[in-house]
Chains A and B, each alone.
Chain A
Amino acid sequence: GDSVTQMEGPVTLSEEAFLTINCTYTATGYPSLFWYVQYPGEGLQLLLKATKADDKGSNKGFEATYRKETTSFHLEKGSVQVSDSAVYFCALTGGENYGQNFVFGPGTRLSVLP
């Protein structure tokens, strides 16, 4: 079945450091890919998405490119801030369970120190 794998962390960085959170997926068909962020005590917020190969999603300084050849959707940010401390979930939809559900990765906890 469809699955999403991501580095579980925790990832600890200093402010202004470069961030990469790896995400790879297994899916049939042509899934859409998403990054969600969950700040402490809150629900999940859509951070960015990409619906086809080579699409780049971007938002709030974060970017991720849909790479079908490597089945990856790595999240990057050039300079993290303390306020980026959160849990980041990579997810897909539209694989074998098209139209039925998201498949979430396990989440990566990011801590940014001042």
Chain B
Amino acid sequence: DTEVTQTPKHLVMGMTNKKSLKCEQHMGHRAMYWYKQKAKKPPELMFVYSYEKLSINESVPSRFSPECPNSSLLNLHLHALQPEDSALYLCASSQDIQLTYGYTFGSGTRLTVV
């Protein structure tokens, strides 16, 4: 298995809703990442987990809450989002945070906040 699987592929949520994005990999990678990508822009790093511990939080608002229940799973809990949070959310994994071999990205969740 050489894939990163993200669910759901599309999500529409209201500003008062609570939802979660899920990411799963079975490549034995020990680092997992959340990225946010706006249209026509490169991805922007949000969070890094290394060996299931939060390693980097790029000053992301608290309405985004990451969770890494085990080495294969990564969640992003969403609460009280704003319309400007609408974007493509990408999960990625790598063998470790040295990134020598690069990332494997999932296909993303396209989030629309209404």
> Which of A's residues lie within 8 Å of B, judged by CB?
32, 34, 36, 42-46, 49, 51, 89, 93-94, 98-102, 104-107, 109
Contacts and interface: CB of A to CB of B under 8 A. Distances in A.
Contacts of A42: 107-108
A101 B41 CA distance: 17
Nearest to A44: B105
A27 B56 CA distance: 21
Interface in B15-71: 40-43, 45, 48, 56
Contacts of A36: 105
Number of chain B interface residues as a range: 20 to 34
Contact of A49 (B42, B43, B56, B102): B102
Contacts, number: 57
B98 A99 contact: yes
Given A32-B99, A99-B97, A45 B105 contact: yes
B102 A46 contact: yes
A62 to B, nearest CB: 15
Interface in B90-110: 90, 92, 97-108
A93 B48 CA distance: 15
